Amino acid sequence: MALSGIEIYKLLPGGLKPPHPKANCKECGFPTCLAFAMKLAAKQAELASCQYVSEEAQEKLAAAAAPPIRLIKVSSNGHEVAAGNETVMYRHEKTFFHPAGVFVRINDSDGLDAIRELVSTADEYKVNYVGMDLAVDGFAIKSTGDAATFSAGVEAVRGATKRPLILISADAAVMEAGLKAAGDSKSLICGASPENWEAMAALAKSHKAPLTVGGSTLDEMAELTDKIKAAGVEDMVLNPVVTTLPEALGVWTQLRRLALRKTFRPLGYPIIAFPSQFSADSQIAAVQAIAKYAGFIVLDRFNPADLYPLLVFRQNIYTDPQKPIQVSPGLYEINNPGPDSPVMVTTNFSITYFSVSNEVEGSGRKGWLLVADAEGMSVLTAWAAGKFDAERIAKTVKSTGIESKVNHRRLTIPGHVAVLSGELEDELPGWEIKVGPREAVNLPQYLKLME
């Protein structure tokens, strides 16, 4: 929690008891230390403007300004997954910032060829959703207990992917072998428990790698993060032991609240979740982890039919509620259209635009797609809000210059706004308005019939 103006004032020259000789000297550009403190609290001034703040006070102010949930990064070869630094409990309060990293788990005992094959398939996996390529973020390798096996397993994974890794073993000697095999990437060490924390913290320190901290109660975890911090490791990820869906929900909610509402530093770290550990239905568990605060998620298997919905869900939950994802309005050419290709119109809400353009593109047919500026809203939403009416559509037709590119005057509108056709014919003299299908899925068939 950020400090209030008064709390900051108490650390400035004028707020000390007794006040510093320079109190209210105005050198910072403000009439009093109190006025300066208020500006600092509102983030409209820089602490550096006052030269008389003690070192101790500077440290306190810096610590208070640190984000309540520490930002933790794992990385390798230019890939990076960052979690933490969240500021709200509910996405409507502002937005969620760092989408949970999705990792696929491998066992080191699975056989090296099988490991290589699975990892390269999952590594290449990518799926397009509204113009964004969604992919797996990295891999977690779990040790079955033997250092040589672990080292070989990690090496096999490392050979098949450049993405970040999570190394899982409770044995520090095994972990050390894995870290060595992982090369110079910054892997997540998973991890420390009340039993092994000293050795694990030493590894985290020497490899400058983040460390997960496990515990079966919040008290236990808080105690452990304090000890590990004292041992010189700052980057931690919480790994609470949870065995049921509601327990996971409860604990993660408590952790988020403690960090955001109480600025409780010992638990101010992102969370790692292992969906199969607390539900027989790991898909449902993963959904909960995405919505309810996990920073890293480790899936037990790689299955596109599970993964695609999950990655889309993550994308949805992490979009900014204040600004829908949009494309720029204008004229889009699909499959090199010519003068006699059909002209269609839609809105600039990303989901809408891509639903339509993917269908036309996939059909192999040529088309001109006019994208009206509907302020990022779907067809019906924009229509209901008066942002996709005959006037706006006509304006799009005129401003894009489509009239000089085609030798016909036929415009297809979305089936959901069939009611607009009359008005549109008035707005666009000479144009014939055609009502297309209601759902984009039926566009290929419609275009075929039109020919």
Q: Which residues bind ligand B12 (CB under 6 A)?
A: 324, 344, 346, 349, 351-352, 355-356, 376-381, 383-385, 412-416, 436-437, 439-440, 443
Q: Which does 432 bind (CB under 5 to 8 A by kind): ligand B12, ligand SF4, other proteins, none?
A: none
**Element of type H or E holding 168:** strand 165-168
Could you say whether residue 11 binds ligand SF4 (CB under 6 A)?
Answer: no
Indicate which single residue of 24, 169, 187, 288 sits in contact with other proteins (rule: CB under 8 A). Answer: 288
Using rule CB under 6 A, residue 9 touches ligand SF4: no
Total of residues contacting ligand SF4 (CB under 6 A): 15
* Per-residue binding letters, 27-46, with ligand SF4 (x by CB under 6 A): xx-x--x--x----------
Interhelix angle 350-363/443-450, rounded to 10 degrees, is 50
- Identify what 312 binds: ligand B12, ligand SF4, other proteins, none; CB under 5 to 8 Å per kind: other proteins
354 binds, among ligand B12, other proteins, ligand SF4, none (CB under 5 to 8 A by kind): none
- Stretch 116-135 residues interacting with other proteins (CB under 8 A): 125-129
Output phi, psi for 226, to 5 deg. -65, -45
Query: Long-range contact list for 279-285, CB < 8 A, 24+ apart?
Result: 279/244, 279/245, 283/309, 283/310, 284/245, 285/245, 285/248
- In degrees and rounded to multiples of 5, residue 70 shows phi and psi of -60, 140
Whether residue 43 contacts residue 234, with contact meaning beta carbons closer than 8 Å, is answered with: no
Contact 241/221 with Cβ under 8 angstroms? no
φ, ψ for residue 372, nearest 5 deg? -80, 150
Burial class from Cβ neighbours inside 10 Å (0-12, 13-18, 19+) for residue 91 reads middle
14 binds ligand SF4 (CB under 6 A): yes
| DSSP structural state of residue 161 | -
Question: Does 374 contact ligand SF4 by CB under 6 A?
Answer: no
Estimate to the nearest angstrom the gap between the alpha carbon of 184 and the chain centroid: 25
Binding site for other proteins (CB under 8 A): 90-92, 125-129, 218-219, 222-223, 226, 244-247, 249-250, 253-254, 257-258, 261-262, 264, 266-267, 279-281, 283-284, 287-288, 291-292, 303-310, 312-313, 316-317, 319, 321, 351, 355, 362, 378, 384, 439-441
Binding site for ligand SF4 (CB under 6 A): 12-14, 22-28, 30, 33, 36, 50, 52
